[in-house]
Amino acid sequence: MPVFQVHIPEDRFSSVQKRALAGALPRALNEALGIPAEDQFVAITSHHPDELYLDPGYMGMNRSGDAVIITVLFTAERPLTDKRMLTKAICENTVATLGICADDVFIALIPVPKENFSFGRGELQLAPGS
């Protein structure tokens, strides 16, 4: 059920790479947390050079023009150990898929109570009493 939003530089990655990334991110969930591989909710958005800004050296990184931002909406009850495994798997899969440096992968985990997810029909399938 996690939802990925990926922000990438425009015209940097091919359609094949973007499609591969759309599969690699849910695979990271499966590898790190055992979430089913078919649990795929990924949106990839391309940005012009004047629309995507990542400080090249913040927190000691050495970012290039290939830097991407990945946000993940996921259930809030996950412990820190799960979050660490997940961000590591996301970074490794993104680096392998896009051929970029690990410094170029910025990840933000956004915890959401699981009862706030609707998988369709306007229903909250994971809410108590559903």
Per DSSP, the residues of 19-88 read HHHHHHHHHHHHHHH---TT---EEEEEE-TTT----SSGGG----TT-EEEEEEEETT--HHHHHHHHH
Q: From CA 123, how far away is CA 68, in angstroms rounded?
A: 32
Question: What's the mean pLDDT in 6-11?
Answer: 97
Q: Which residue ranges make up each domain of the chain?
A: 3-116
pLDDT-derived band at 59 (thresholds 50, 70, 90) equals very high
Residue 116's closest CA among 56, 75, 66?
Answer: 75
Kindly report the pTM of this predicted structure. Answer: 0.93
Domain 3-116, second-level architecture:
2-Layer Sandwich (3.30)
